[in-house]
Amino acid sequence: MGNLFDKGSALVASAMRAALSTEIVYIRGAESARIPATVGRTVFEVEDSHGVLRWESRDFVVSACDLVLGALPETPAKGDLIEERDCDGKVRVYEVSAPGREQEWRYADTSRRLIRVHTKLRQQTA
C-alpha cells in the first residue's frame, strides 16, 4: 500500500490517460508499441559559444508501464521515434532528443509512474 503521494500520482496518471491522451506509436528499430500519451512542451535555454539557444521540445508524457517493446519494459533512448497522427490525418515523426547535455527523458512524478519524453520534429507527411 502506497503513501498519499503514490495514490495521488496514480490518480493523476489515470485521469491523464482517460481524458487527455492521444494514441502514439513509439518506435525503436524494428520494435514498436501503440500507447496513449499526453502532449506537452518544454523550453530549454542552452548556452554555447554563439550565445543562448532557445530550443522547444514537443513532449510526450506516457505511463512507464505502457512503454513495452518486444515484451520488455523500456525507458526512452536517444534516437527512438514517436509517430503522432493529427485530426487531419497528417503523420508527424518526432525523434527522442534534447539539446546540449540535457536528458532526453525524465520521470514526471515522484512515484515514477509517468515519463516525460523530449522530442524534436523529424518528418511530416501530408
Q: Per residue in 55-92, pLDDT tens?
A: 889 999 999 999 999 999 999 999 999 999 988 889 99
- pLDDT tens across 27-47, in order? 999 999 999 999 999 998 888
φ/ψ (deg, to 5) at 14: -65, -45
Residue 40 is predicted with a pLDDT of 93
Assess contact for 7 and 14: CB atoms under 8 A. no
Q: Across the chain, how many H-helices and E-strands are there?
A: 1, 9
Is the pLDDT at 11 greater than 70? The verdict is no
- The single-letter DSSP state of residue 74 is -
